[in-house]
Amino acid sequence: MGAWRATIERIALVPTMGALHAGHMSLVERAKRETGATVVSIFVNPTQFGPNEDFTKYPRHEAADLAMLDKAGVAAAFVPSVDEMYPPGDTMRVDPGAIAAPLEGAARPGHFIGVATIVAKLFEITRPDLALFGQKDFQQLRVLQTMARDRYPAVRVMGCPIVREADGLAMSSRNAYLAPEQRIAALALSRGLFAAQAAWSRGTRDPVRLRARVQEVVEREPLVAPEYISVADPLTLAELRLPANRAVISLAALVGRTRLIDNALLGMEVSEIR
């Protein structure tokens, strides 16, 4: 990768765990619209999975993924092995600090240390000018923007909007785990967020009322067990106690044994966040 890197002026990096769908490809298309060569990494990163999570059964579709990337015309796909990214004895870890503490960080201890560590390694190897991440994993985006600001100031970390199925479900590689009736029940997540968005556009700014709106809709669906529903400041992720002119509503829920996350930004677009 090193010698190859030296021949290219600007690089846009899109890190993924594969099982590519239209959400991933929206990042690729966005990267291609920026200047330079687009590099997509595919790596199911063991350090970001908890001991009882789905690392071993996470969907792996390498041949289909590479065909999609080839068709999209990316400059390179980087598909390292676990041993290449974590050679035996490797213990280097990146702790992203306070931004990783609430929400997914609280629900999945160590998750963001794994995410920050692998993305730091990918930044060191590919030395991108731009790295693109989805709003789908909103806290991850903020964790990586914070890491880049502090440790990789030459890398611009850009957030891209959530791509949804026609019925509203946020695209995710994990949606493949859902049985048909669970797939329908999972729509309660986006329905709850859309209800809060509608309340926001009618003028509701009280975080307690916005949160209650989501909860009401999600709890109507018996197959969905919400884990948290948060109304927070989009930059710090601190819970809002008072009405504000921008917010992010994030939620995590179990549908059967599948854990899904989704979010909505209120009063701002993801492209405004850096």
Q: Which of 11, 13, 24, 253 binds ligand AMP (CB under 6 A)?
A: 24
Q: Please count the other Cβ atoms lying within 10 Å of the Cβ belonging to residue 225.
A: 14
Q: Please count the other Cβ atoms lying within 10 Å of the Cβ belonging to residue 134.
A: 24
Q: Which of 21, 24, 61, 111 is catalytic?
A: 24
Q: Which of 23, 96, 102, 105 binds ligand AMP (CB under 6 A)?
A: 23
Closer by beta carbon to ligand AMP, 23 or else 102: 23
213 binds ligand AMP (CB under 6 A): no
Phi, psi of 33 (to 5 degrees): -75, -25
Amino acid, res. 210: L
Q: How far is the CB of 200 from ligand AMP (least distance, A)?
A: 21
Instruction: Give the whole-angstrom CA distance, residue 7 versus residue 21.
Output: 30
Instruction: Give the whole-angstrom CA distance, residue 158 versus residue 153.
Output: 13
134 binds ligand AMP (CB under 6 A): yes
17 binds ligand AMP (CB under 6 A): yes
* Encoded tokens for 127: 């030395």
Q: Which of 65, 137, 221, 262 binds ligand AMP (CB under 6 A)?
A: 137
Q: How far is the CB of 27 from ligand AMP (least distance, A)?
A: 6
Q: Which of 112, 123, 133, 177 binds ligand AMP (CB under 6 A)?
A: 133
171 binds ligand AMP (CB under 6 A): yes
Tell me which residues in 237-256 interact with ligand AMP (CB under 6 A): none
Instruction: Give the whole-angstrom CA distance, residue 159 versus residue 142.
Output: 9
21 is annotated as an active-site residue: no
Closer by beta carbon to ligand AMP, 21 or else 246: 21
Instruction: Give the whole-angstrom CA distance, residue 269 versus residue 93.
Output: 31
Q: How far is the CB of 174 from ligand AMP (least distance, A)?
A: 8
Tell me which residues in 150-169 interact with ligand AMP (CB under 6 A): 160, 162-163
Instruction: Give the whole-angstrom CA distance, residue 142 versus residue 138.
Output: 6
68 binds ligand AMP (CB under 6 A): no
Instruction: Give the whole-angstrom CA distance, residue 60 versus residue 231.
Output: 34
Q: How many residues bind ligand AMP (CB under 6 A)?
A: 17
Q: Please count the other Cβ atoms lying within 10 Å of the Cβ belonging to residue 93.
A: 12
Instruction: Give the whole-angstrom CA distance, residue 62 versus residue 64.
Output: 6
Q: How far is the CB of 257 from ligand AMP (least distance, A)?
A: 18
65 binds ligand AMP (CB under 6 A): no
Element (H, E) at 106: helix 103-107
Instruction: Give the whole-angstrom CA distance, residue 248 versus residue 141.
Output: 13
Contact set with ligand AMP (CB under 6 A): 16-17, 23-24, 26-27, 133-134, 136-137, 160, 162-163, 170-173
Enzyme catalytic residues: 24
